Structure 1
Amino acid sequence: MSIDPSIYYAAIPAVILVGMTKGGMGEALALMGVPILAMAVPPVQAAVILLPILVVMDVVSLWIWRDHNDRTLLKMLLPGALVGVAIGWATSAYVPRDALRLIIGVITVLFAIRYFYNSYRARQGYVVQPKPHRVVPAAFFGTLAGYGSFVAHSGGAPFQVYGLPLKLPPRDYTGAAVRFFAIINFIKLGPYFALGQLDTTNLTISATLVPLAIATTALGGFAVKRMKPDVFYPFMYAMAFIAGLKLVYDGIVAIL
């Protein structure tokens, strides 16, 4: 099957946005990748084309953030995430993706609003302490992250909802996030292949975009590594808020 060159008018900006995200700049930019690419190809094909690119970006991100991690955060969220991926695979033909986007979006928007409200209160003298790790919320948001990642590439928001309130050092948080989604995206390759989505045409398009993917991921990592905590956390919560709004919008439009 021949490849229409016009696909790249949408694919190139999509990969740039996703690459900046994979470098550590937050979920909001990544959520624009599939919709932009879907202007040129069907939404399912757009998600499939991006998956191998995400895996390449993950390899670059793992190298960039190789010296930074929070193992406890990974141990808390990964078991639920693996369950979420399995559920997504088993229900791939019946998944209410639009309702899922809406639910994740509402949770994320409220979560971000709460942060900015607490930041306002902090200027009045109120101190918000870091949240401890909690098994039940970790299982819930881990499962939601794995499920959302499989069915709609929207697992970043649940990860942020659990991880950001821990107030980890920014580099350790980003290193854990990079490892989390590298593992999830690698695991997703098997189910996507089993569902017959990773064909020659889609893989060829993905391969031609790899150099751009590597460059933009490195650029995103360069920027985030130089952010101080008092810049990093407001930025990440703002990205979460924008991501939540995008998910709410997509969900409402699709349902209506």
Structure 2
Amino acid sequence: MIQDPLFYAAAIPAVLIVGISKSGMGGGSLGILSIPILSLVASPAVGAAIMLPLLIAMDIMGLITFRGKGDMRNLRILIPAALIGISVGALTFRFTSDAMLRGLIGVLSIAFVVQRAVGLGSAAVPTQPSIAKGSVWGALSGFTSFIANAGGPPFVIYLAPQQLDKLMFVGTSVIFFSVINAVKVVPFIALGLFDARNLTTSLALLPLAPVGYWLGLKMLMKVNQARFYQITVAALFVAGCKLLWDAAGA
């Protein structure tokens, strides 16, 4: 287990932020901030390996809390596409530029927010599930989740315009990322990203997972539908800016 107190000074807020994000606040995009925080005290690969078991624990909480809330029309499109994206990510992990990928997702995220803000096209009109769009964004979400832990923004870009009920949105997110995180375990093991030190560190941080999740759930239940989507889009903008910052500094 990692013993450095500085590591836990960064890891504790990172886990709490992930918990708040995983419970639905910000549409899941705020969780993207956890790996950069951990990267202050550990390599991105170590941070990802430590966080994955915690993410799976939070996924289990979400599946219990939001059971029956997922939108199956979207999930039937998104999940197969994401599995393809994860497979491509596992095969190209050693050769893909993390900085370029983060920069691309950052630009797309900010462009989406700007489009919504200025009302271009039919931004205010709810869209419908789309096999073409869902396949593209689902695959990109799976790919970026594996390579750069940035699967949230592509998912939000696809699903937010549909303006689903907030609990349906979160339930769909919970099922989608539960599948992604479970599937990532096998390639993480194959790539040697798990070891005894990382797993015992995850175990030490595990009690924080329900705390962060509970905090986020309390926030989610207090906001109305309109405010939920305002927060989701704002969180996507923050995530996009952070991704661009990371890409520029790489």
TM range (shorter): over 0.9
| 1:97 is the counterpart of 2:132 | no
Distance 1:209 1:37 in 2: 13
Q: Which amino acid aligns with 2:31?
A: A
Work out whether residues 35 and 47 of structure 2, in 8 Å CA contact, stay in contact via their aligned partners in 1. Answer: yes
Q: Which residue number corresponds to residue 233 of structure 2? A: 237
Structure 2 counterpart of 1:91, one-letter code? T
Instruction: Report the Cα distance in structure 1 between the residues aligned to 2:128 and 2:33, rounded to whole angstroms.
Output: 32
CA deviations 1:188-227 (Å, max 9, x no partner) are: 0111011111100000000011111111112212221332
Q: Is the 8 A contact 1:81 1:147 kept in 2?
A: yes
- Counterpart in the other structure of 1:32: 33
In structure 2, the CA distance between the partners of 1:92 and 1:16, relative to structure 1 (3 Å rule), is same
Q: Which position in structure 2 is the counterpart of 1:13?
A: 13
Counterparts of 1:137-216 in structure 2, within 5 Å, are 137-216=133-212
- Ranges in structure 1 where 5+ consecutive residues have no aligned partner: none
> What CA distance in whole angstroms lies between the structure 1 residues aligned with 2:35 and 2:177?
17
Q: What is the percent sequence identity of the aligned residues?
A: 37
Shifted more, 63-72 versus 159-168: the winner is 63-72
Paired with 1:73 and 1:220, the residues of 2 have a C-alpha distance of 24
Distance 1:107 1:8 in 2: 33
Q: Deviations over 1:69-110 (max 9, x none)?
A: 211111111111000000000111101111111111101101
In the alignment, is residue 222 of structure 1 matched against residue 218 of structure 2? yes
Equivalent residue letter for 1:192:
F
- RMSD after superposition: 1.6
In the alignment, does 2:42 pair up with 1:46?
no
Cα drift, residue 44 of structure 1: 1.2
In the TM superposition, residue 6 of structure 1 has moved relative to its aligned partner by: 2.9
Deviation at 1:169, TM superposition (A): 0.9
**Equivalences, count:** 248
* Change beyond 3 A, Cα 1:140–1:199: same
Task: Output the CA distance in 2 between the equivalents of 1:128 and 1:197.
Answer: 43
Q: Is the 8 A contact 2:23 2:217 kept in 1?
A: yes
**In 2 relative to 1, CA 226–69 (structure 1 residues): closer, same or farther, beyond 3 Å?**
farther
Q: Structure 2 length as normaliser, TM-score? A: 0.95
The CA deviation at 1:66 is 1.5
C-alpha distance in structure 2 between counterparts of 1:58 and 1:131, whole Å: 27
In structure 2, C-alpha distance between the alignment counterparts of 1:42 and 1:127, rounded to whole Å:
39
The whole-number CA distance in structure 1 between the counterparts of 2:69 and 2:29 is 22
Displacement of 1:39 = 1.2
Gaps of 5+ in 2: none
CA distance in 2, matches of 1:5, 1:225: 34
The TM-score with structure 1 as length reference comes to 0.92
State whether residues 148 and 155 of structure 1, in contact with CA within 8 Å, keep that contact through their aligned partners in structure 2. Answer: yes
8 Å contact kept, 2:30–2:236:
no
Post-superposition, which runs of at least 4 consecutive aligned residues in structure 1 deviate over 2 A?
A: 1-6, 26-29
Is contact 2:29–2:236 with CA below 8 Å preserved after alignment? yes
Query: Which position in structure 2 is the counterpart of 1:76?
Result: 77
Partner residue in 2 for 1:23: 23
Secondary structure, counterpart of 1:32 in structure 2: helix
